[in-house]
A and B are shown apart, each in its own frame.
Chain A
Amino acid sequence: MRDNSELITDIYRSIVREVLSDYAGHQWPLIPVLQKTQQRIGYIPPQCVRLISQALGPSPVEIQGVISFYEQLRDTPRGRTVIRTCRGTACHVRGGPEVMIRLRDILQISEGETTADLAYSLESVACVGACGLAPNVLVDDEVHGRMTPQKIEQLLQDREEEEPW
Chain B
Amino acid sequence: MVTPHRVLVCHETPCVARGAVGLHAAFRREIDRLGLDHVSLEISGCHGHGLCSQGPSVVVEPSGFFYNGIQPPDAEVIVREHLSGGRPVQHLFHRDPVTGRTAARYADVDFFRRQRRVALRNCGRINPEKIEHYVDRGGYGALQLVLSTMRPEDVIELVEDSGLRGRGGAGFPTGRKWRFARRSSSDVKYVVCNADEGNPGAFTDRSVLEGDPHAVVEGMIIAGYAVGARRGYLYIRAEYPLAVRRVQKAIEDARDKGFLGSDLLGSGFSFDLEIKEGAGAFVCGEETALLASIQSRRGMPRPRPPFPTDVGLGGKPTVINNVKTLAFVPVIVDRGPGWFSSLGTPQSAGTAVFALTGNIRYSGLVEVPMGTPLAEIIDIGGGIPDGRKVKAVHTGGPAGGSLPADRLDAPVDYEALQELGSTMGSGGMLVLDEDACMVDVARFFMDFACSESCGQCAPCRLGTGQMVRILTRIATGRGAREDLVLLREVADTVKHASLCGLGQTCSNPVLATLEYFKEEYLAHIREGKCPLGVCEVRASVRPGEQGREFQPGGLPAGGVGANLKGGCP
Contacts and interface: CB of A to CB of B under 8 A. Distances in A.
Interface of A: 27-32, 34-35, 65-66, 68-73, 87-90, 92-94, 97-98, 100-101, 110-112, 125-134, 136, 141-145
A129 B206 contact: yes
Contacts, number: 146
B200 A87 contact: yes
Contact of A112 (B394, B432, B565): B565
Interface stretch (B160-168, B273-281, B471-479, B493-501): B273-281
Interface residues of B, number: 62
B329 interface: no
29 contacts: A32-B276, A32-B277, A35-B279, A65-B298, A68-B565, A69-B299, A70-B562, A71-B563, A71-B565, A72-B280, A87-B200, A89-B200, A89-B357, A90-B430, A92-B444, A97-B538, A98-B537, A100-B541, A101-B540, A112-B566, A112-B567, A128-B13, A129-B14, A130-B52, A132-B14, A132-B363, A133-B53, A134-B363, A143-B13
B358 A89 contact: yes
Given A89-B358, A100-B541, A111-B567, 7 more contacts: A68-B562, A72-B238, A89-B201, A89-B428, A90-B357, A94-B358, A131-B363
Contacts of A92: 200, 444, 538
B293 interface: yes
Contacts of A66: 296-298
Given A71-B280, A71-B565, A89-B444, A31 B296 contact: yes
Contacts of B448: 87
Contacts of A35: 277, 279
B280 A70 contact: yes
B561 interface: yes
Contacts of A98: 537
Contacts of B200: 87-89, 92, 126-127
B25 interface: no
Interface in B268-321: 276-282, 293-299, 314
B13 A129 contact: yes
A134 B355 CA distance: 13
B279 A126 contact: no
A72 B241 CA distance: 13
B369 interface: no
A37 to B, nearest CB: 12
